[in-house]
Chain A
Amino acid sequence: MFDRLKGIIKKEFYHIFRDQRTLLILFGIPIVQIVLFGFAISNEIKNVKIAVLDLSKDEHSTQITDKVLSTSYFDLDSYLTTFDEIDDGFQKGRIKAALVFPPKFGETLRKENKADVQIISDATDPNTGTQIGSYLQLQVQQYLMEQELKITSMPPPALINTEVEMRYNPELKSVYMFVPGLITIILMLVCTMMTSIAITREKETGTMEVLLASPMHASIILLGKVIPYLLLSFVNASFIIALGKFIFEVPVMGSYALLIGEIILYCLVVLALGIFVSTVAETQQLALMISLFALFLPTMLLSGFIFPIENMPLPLQIVSKIVPATYFNIIIKSIMLKGATLSFILKETLILVGIFFLLMGVSIKRFKIRLE
């Protein structure tokens, strides 16, 4: 029995290593994705081009401008002289934000102890737009506080000093989010899509007919399909974690043993999902479609990888609750970024175990030992 399993695993590895498309999906996609997400796609505010329209040109306005531009967040594109130039700058895509000082800014500030500064931010990308706006606001406020301290050497009585600490990701790096998220997505892609295709391929080429006519038990056939992909997925996950750690400096705060254990658990869940897909689909094409559209997209969009689940409308929140990736996302982020131990993620772990047994049970039951 063990020999049979070994035989079918060996055969499966032949298939994998001889098919260039399989290899490309297995190892090409993870590398491309991590490079894309890690380098190219970035939400960070860094070197944002801004324009300054200073209609006052006094001591305060120049000092605020200097302060803003002295940070690494903002770079000066140009000094403007009219309002129309702001629109022009936005439309040509030269600037992402504009800082406007009204005439007599410093004078008003001195006399009335209150003045207006306008911050215009390009909100075609809402997240970045808001972020740029609040960063700019922060700079202006800091300037005022510094001024106050200089003059009175005492903070103003009613000022509450808020100090925001960005815990677990102090520099707000997006790779912190992408590396765990990518592991979730790629394992899903590799395990579910590849296993479902590997099984339906045998149905399509007719080799399943010969396997069925052999005395092999259904569970051996399935296990022989699952084990190679489990091993490869594990290699993939380790590779992504290593890339994250050594290139993007994403730490693994929790224990590696726990992380490995949870990754294996998640692999098993998505492999079971792949087997389930193969019991539903008769052709490789259908298996691919189901994997991509019914599984991959929800995982990407609804698991909390890209959009926070709390902000979704209720029906989507319910869908996200049945996506295994949702739980794994919480688990892997907790372990990698927060250093959580098992007791903190016990609930999610148990849910994944439950999903695994459910899917496996249904799949073995649905797996046909005959042709029809």
Chain B
Amino acid sequence: MAVIEVKNLRKSYGEVKALKGISFDVKQNEIFGLIGPDGAGKSTLIRILNSLILSDEGHVSVMGKDPNKQYQYIRNHIGYMPGRFSLYEDLSVKENLEFFATIFGTTIKKSYNLIKDIYQQIEPFNDRKAGALSGGMKQKLALCSALIHYPKVLFLDEPTTGVDPVSRKEFWQIIKGLHQHNITIIVSTPYMDEADLCDRVALMNDGEILRIDTPQNVASSLGKTLYALETNEGNYKLIKALREYPYMDSVFPFGEKLHYTDQRENDISSELNSYLKDKGFSKISIERIASNTEDVFIRLMNNQKQ
């Protein structure tokens, strides 16, 4: 049975349509990723699911309850970590945890089994004020607080935004580790590479869900052969040249390289190479590569705009 069911959900803030009729299900014990840029509607969606915002239209069910009406039940059984650090900066690590334990009617001791892997990492700083912690530590503390009452569903709103790469990796290991405790996790992120760490992802942009699938299926769903191009002349000139190429399907910068798709199906590496040589590029590397989530996302986003 689905833990979360959403059908045709709509939400507007005045003229701005934050969610334009989205539908999806989240299964028990899943790590479900909401992937999309800022303003896609991820936070709004999470806040509707955890009963902090009322939806305008559509059917929403969380653990079988309607967040608009039975919010008391939902609030008792969810853990929520907002996008912004929302603990008390003038309270120490321990005081924060104790406070959240008390308001959920539990104690650190009772929940120790669930949070110990995370808590042990911040326990050395027990007496330090939360405001003086590093970004990664803050997120670990916030996660501990969100888990303190053994929630059935955990909402993490951009938990890794503004966190250094090492801490990001650690944080995802922690999320993966929560699997064994029977917790369903909804996590939002603007980082496309984090999609691969979820069980299933929903690609969101501009209030719509562009695709829902496993990260593997999403990544391979480009439907085109993808080429990575590199030259010593600089990407700007290369993009300009490629845009003038009549068979060009799409081209966009990806890290140091350019990702390119062609309108023709067959291998066009050599043709492309000679075209670029004519344009005056001397050193060109063209490589066929497997597509990833970001390639698919950009393609879907461009289709959405048209």
Contacts and interface: CB of A to CB of B under 8 A. Distances in A.
B95 A11 contact: yes
A215 interface: yes
Interface stretch (A1-9, A251-259, A359-367): A1-9
A265 interface: no
A207 interface: yes
Given A205-B89, A206-B85, A210-B80, A215 B52 contact: no
Nearest to A1: B105
A222 to B, nearest CB: 14
A14 B53 contact: no
B84 interface: yes
Contacts of A14: 88, 90-91, 95
Contact of A216 (B50, B103, B145): B103
Indicate the member of A15, A18, A210 with the most B CB atoms within 10 Å: A210
A213 B51 contact: yes
A216 B149 CA distance: 13
A138 to B, nearest CB: 60
The size bracket of the interface on B is 20 to 34
A209 B53 CA distance: 11
**Interface of chain A: mostly helix, strand, loop or mixed:** helix
Contact of B86 (A4, A10, A207, A370): A207
Contacts of B104: 214-215
Given A15-B88, A206-B86, A369 B71 contact: yes
Given A3-B105, A7-B102, A216-B103, A370 B90 contact: no
The size bracket of the interface on A is 20 to 34
A169 B61 CA distance: 70
26 contacts: A4-B102, A7-B103, A8-B102, A8-B103, A11-B88, A11-B91, A15-B88, A18-B90, A206-B85, A206-B86, A209-B52, A209-B80, A209-B86, A210-B80, A210-B82, A211-B103, A213-B50, A213-B52, A213-B78, A214-B104, A215-B76, A215-B103, A216-B103, A370-B51, A371-B52, A372-B54
Interface of B: 47, 50-54, 71-72, 75-76, 78, 80, 82, 84-91, 95, 98-100, 102-105, 145
